[in-house]
Structure 1
Amino acid sequence: VAVTAGDRSTLYDATLVGYNPDKDVAVLQINAADAKLSPISLGNSAAVRVGQTALAIGNPFGLDHSLTVGVVSGLGREVSSPTGRPITNVIQTDAAINPGNSGGALLDSQGRLIGMNTAILSPSGTSAGIGFAIPVDTLKQQVEAILKYGKVLRPAIGISYMQGVQARSVGVEKGVLVMTVPRESAASKAGLRGSYRVEDGQVILGDVIIAVNST
């Protein structure tokens, strides 16, 4: 992996520290002296408001160091990640974002990072005035986890379950019926038991979760 500096001529080797495709985020370590690099100022995406100025930087269609200007058009949007998982609380902007802008900075009027450009909504595949950026507060969490673990750890109970009409059909009126509990999962270590069928065909129901932490 090579990273081009702002002077457009200096190249640095870089190594992949880790990534999370569920959030379309990766962290690279650039092999350069600290004095050669200037970190961007970070904003606070929780303070972003609809109507404020937004500036998108990227390489649309290979045109490097391109800057487009618009406003924050919406907050709390949802888009799909490369893995199909939803990325929530995304910033919507009408600053032109095109193929090649993904991974570029979305800045406020003071040059502070408020998001990372990630996707557009367009029938043609080019900018239609609806672009999306992952908020910087989400990026901070993702980067911190990747730097610490090399990946983002996702908490999971580790069960399959039945609820609603299906659960009521087997006599469970309230809660979630545990169906399967994989070995070595968090649920297994906590002692949860899944449902199973015995030799005569009878189904033995597993545990029923009716509350978590008394709520």
Structure 2
Amino acid sequence: MLLLWAVLMSLAGAGAGAGFSTDDETNNIQVFKEASPSVVYVTNETVVRDPRSFDLHTVPRGSGTGFVWNDGGYIVTNFHVIEGARQITITLQDRSSWKAKVMGIAPEKDLAVLHIEAPAATLQPLALGDSSALTVGNKVLAIGNPFGLDTTLTVGVVSALGREIQAPNNRKIRNVIQTDAAINPGNSGGPLLNSEAKLIGVNTAIFSPSGASVGIGFAIPVDTVKKIVPQLIAHGRLVRPILGIELAPEQWARRNGIKGVPIMRVTRGLPAQKAGLRGIRRNAWGAAELGDIIIGVDTHVVETYDDLLTALERYKPGDRVSVSFVRDGDIDKRALTLAAP
């Protein structure tokens, strides 16, 4: 009898455990089921020459994550995931593999768009969210391929907003999302999702002395991604309007303690020249005189070259802006219409 009672209690306990679920747990499962078919495995391969036979061989260079942007075969990932690749392979959730073509890159934002010739029926695009609506404490979920372990889910919260990280070309990526959802090598390029399975960021970097997750990960906000990806598909690069100026070397400006962006010369017929901005020029004695130093674009303060590029990225050709600058120690301001590159 005692043995029978123990068996019955054991079965009852197993049933209770199997049926236990929390609302949060259910949501995790729902988000994973909804979003994971959109997540892809990105393999970056390069070509090396055998030192003995001199034959060329394709060898793995690295791997990462990406996700389906639309059913036209466009895939989004990080630039650093595919940087230097001679051959890129995308593996979908149905285990089919496709050779990918690089359609566009934005190293300054660490984003890249690839294209595969997969049937639309095999592609499930991610729904896009709104990163401007995020607040610290919001639940987030990351799906990726850390250390080559495909389709791994981690859960956390938005730890901070408005962070800055360094892009592969040393530009600053601003307004980055910080999260404690575990992000490890291989997660790069994968989606950061909200509780509605909508994309709110692209997992990009970790802060870690050991190289593994310590609870500080960073994601490029989806509002930035939504602006850049269409440009990469259409033009292959980030389209930034121009002022029509050539800048003095940044190292020279820094060495001379110049706060702002000094103009070396302006291009005839372009916005800066039309607005009357000046570059470096010679005086009556043949000595070089410093030209205008840009210190602002509309309300955006410009102290460095990166500040100027970031400010211009907020506009498109044809937009009217006000440029603030220092000339002979005085601050001046001119309105001009930005031109296409």
Same fold (TM over 0.5): yes
Structure 1: how far apart are the matches of 2:287 and 2:170?
38
**Which residue does 1:126 correspond to in 2?**
212
Structure 2: how far apart are the matches of 1:100 and 1:15?
20
Of 178, 187, 197, the residue aligned with 2:282 is: 197
Counterparts of 1:1-215 in structure 2, within 5 Å, are 1-7=88-94, 9-157=95-243, 158-160=245-247, 179-181=263-265, 183=267, 186=270, 190=274, 192-197=277-282, 200-203=285-288, 206=291, 208=327, 210-213=332-335
* Cα shift at 1:3: 1.0
* Cα shift at 1:139: 0.4
Identity %: 50
Structure 1: how far apart are the matches of 2:287 and 2:123?
67
Q: Retained in 2: the 8 A contact 1:181–1:188?
A: no
Structure 2: how far apart are the matches of 1:101 and 1:50?
22
Q: Identify unmatched segments of 5+ residues in structure 2.
A: 1-87, 293-326, 337-341
Alignment RMSD: 2.9
Structure 2: how far apart are the matches of 1:203 and 1:177?
17
Q: Retained in 2: the 8 A contact 1:181–1:187?
A: no
3-state SS in 2 of match to 1:6: coil
Give 1:32's aligned amino acid.
A
Report the CA distance shift for 1:30/1:188 in structure 2 as closer, same or farther (over 3 A): same
Q: Which structure is higher in helix share?
A: 2
Report the CA distance shift for 1:179/1:140 in structure 2 as closer, same or farther (over 3 A): closer
Structure 1: how far apart are the matches of 2:280 and 2:247?
10
* Cα shift at 1:189: 5.2
Report the CA distance shift for 1:59/1:43 in structure 2 as closer, same or farther (over 3 A): same
Work out the number of aligned pairs and report it.
Answer: 205
Deviation sequence 1:64-90 (CA, Å, 0-9, x none): 111111111111111111111111011
Q: Retained in 1: the 8 A contact 2:266–2:278?
A: no
Give 1:195's aligned amino acid.
I
Q: Which has the higher contact order (CA 8 A, sep 6+)?
A: 1
Q: Name the TM-score, length of structure 1 as normaliser.
A: 0.83
Give 2:169's aligned amino acid.
T
Q: Retained in 2: the 8 A contact 1:142–1:152?
A: yes
Deviation sequence 1:157-178 (CA, Å, 0-9, x none): 324378xx978xxxxxxxx896
Report the CA distance shift for 1:45/1:177 in structure 2 as closer, same or farther (over 3 A): closer
Q: Name the TM-score, length of structure 2 as normaliser.
A: 0.54
Structure 1: how far apart are the matches of 2:261 and 2:237?
32
* Cα shift at 1:57: 1.0
Structure 2: how far apart are the matches of 1:83 and 1:166?
24
Structure 2: how far apart are the matches of 1:123 and 1:63?
22
Report the CA distance shift for 1:102/1:192 in structure 2 as closer, same or farther (over 3 A): same
**Which residue does 1:170 correspond to in 2?**
none
Structure 1: how far apart are the matches of 2:236 and 2:183?
29
Deviation sequence 1:88-126 (CA, Å, 0-9, x none): 011110000011111011011121111000001111111
Report the CA distance shift for 1:5/1:181 in structure 2 as closer, same or farther (over 3 A): same
Report the CA distance shift for 1:105/1:166 in structure 2 as closer, same or farther (over 3 A): closer
Q: Retained in 1: the 8 A contact 2:146–2:184?
A: yes
* Cα shift at 1:206: 4.2
